[in-house]
Amino acid sequence: MKKLLTCLLAVLMVLSMAACSGNSGKEESGTPAEGGETEEKIRVALVTNVAGNSAFIDDGIAGFKETAEKYGWEYSVAECAADQDYEDNARAFAQEDYDLIVGLSWQANVGIAAAATEFPDAAAYALVDDSTGLDNVMDVTFTEASGAYLIGRMAALVTNGETHNYAAVHAMEGTSGWVGWRYPFMQGVLSVDPEAKFEFRYVGSYSDPVKAKELATQLAALDCKFINAACAGGDYGVFDAAAELGFYTSGQDEDLTDYNDNVISCQLKDTYNAMAYVLDRFAEGNWNPADINLGIKEDTIGAVWVTKDSKLAPRSEILTDEIIADLKAVAEDLKAGKIDLTAPEDQTNYPKISG
């Protein structure tokens, strides 16, 4: 009897070990498929700048993570401190069986382009806020013109005829700046102040607040009561000049209204919603890497206090309820396509302060 019990226990141990070894090999997880088996989780990766220095990047990372979590996907985020990091991380993700690899910011362009070229069939690829020009990458760019139009109209409304001179400090001169910022900003101003004249100055860099402050000081001397800041890292130089000289200003891409009281709004580029848009498209299946433009209609472009309230600072008293109501109504017209912001090719034909 004792020998029989020993044999039975041995048999049971063998059967138990066999049952526990059924999922050996590559680790799998996800929602159980038909028949009780498990299907492998979708794996998505993000290559971007180091977090913590910009709401533009932080919001994009948050949108990526939270949308991936919504679908139950496995995700990885590579924050890149050096130029080479973008390429190294994108290539690594392509070789590690990730299903979708996304780059956020123009710095990620080289990494996404390298991985998509060297491993074209390894994954689906997308780049947010720049263009690779590759057929197998979804290049996601923004139609900034609607936000610039709102800021221009705001400038004219808060100036209220005190002056007809308006200005902006830009990072670079060129067609993209004309189409996305300068022309629509002027049209927004002119929609309120048909006597408006304009002056634009260019830093020649995306990270020179000292030069930007110098240019803003020159423009303030031209009796400009609103000087738009559109020079990336140089915006802070314009903000400092605004506080010292008393003009109003607005920044770009993210909410910076807590910098000082003279920054009354900012043109917004919502990377959270943009990232959610990309991942939602991937979740639909039948991935199409055709290039897309996102704008005010998709709730990715707008202006602080018009399309989104600030969580960082109180609204300036100069932005009255009447002004905000006016701008919100115009934002709806922009969403409906009622305002044509198609820029002419001629970038020199506009009313100039110096002219």
User: What letter does residue 299 receive in the DSSP assignment?
Assistant: T
Dist. CA 188–CA 211, nearest whole Å: 27
Dist. CA 291–CA 127, nearest whole Å: 10
Dist. CA 2–CA 335, nearest whole Å: 84
Dist. CA 147–CA 266, nearest whole Å: 9
Question: Per residue of the chain (355 residues), what is the pLDDT tens digit?
Answer: 433 334 433 433 333 333 333 322 222 222 333 433 446 789 999 999 999 878 889 999 999 999 999 999 999 999 999 999 999 999 999 999 999 999 999 999 999 999 999 999 999 999 999 999 999 999 999 999 999 999 999 999 999 999 999 999 999 999 999 999 999 999 999 999 999 999 999 999 988 999 999 999 999 999 999 999 999 889 999 999 999 999 999 999 999 999 999 999 999 999 999 999 999 999 999 899 999 999 999 999 999 999 999 999 999 999 999 999 999 999 999 999 999 999 999 999 999 997 5
Burial of 156 (0-12, 13-18, 19+ CB in 10 A): buried
Dist. CA 258–CA 234, nearest whole Å: 16
Domain segments of the chain: what residues? 43-142+272-297, 145-269+308-335
CATH code assigned to 145-269+308-335: 3.40.50.2300
Looking from the CA of 185 toward its CB, the CA atoms found within 13 Å total: 33
H-helix segments, 45-162: 55-70, 83-95, 109-118, 145-159
Q: Which residues contact 297 (CB under 8 A, 6 or more apart)?
A: 335, 337
Cβ proximity of 98 and 111 under 8 Å: no
Cβ proximity of 128 and 271 under 8 Å: yes
The residue ranges of DSSP E strands in 105-247, in sequence order, are 124-128, 137-142, 165-170, 197-202, 226-230
195-245 per-position pLDDT tens digit? 999 999 999 998 899 999 999 999 999 999 999 999 988 999 999 999 999
User: Could you tell me the end-to-end alpha-carbon distance of the chain, in angstroms, rounded to an integer?
Assistant: 112
The yes or no reply on domain 43-142+272-297 and CATH 3.40.50.2300 is: yes
What is the value of pTM for the model shown?
0.83
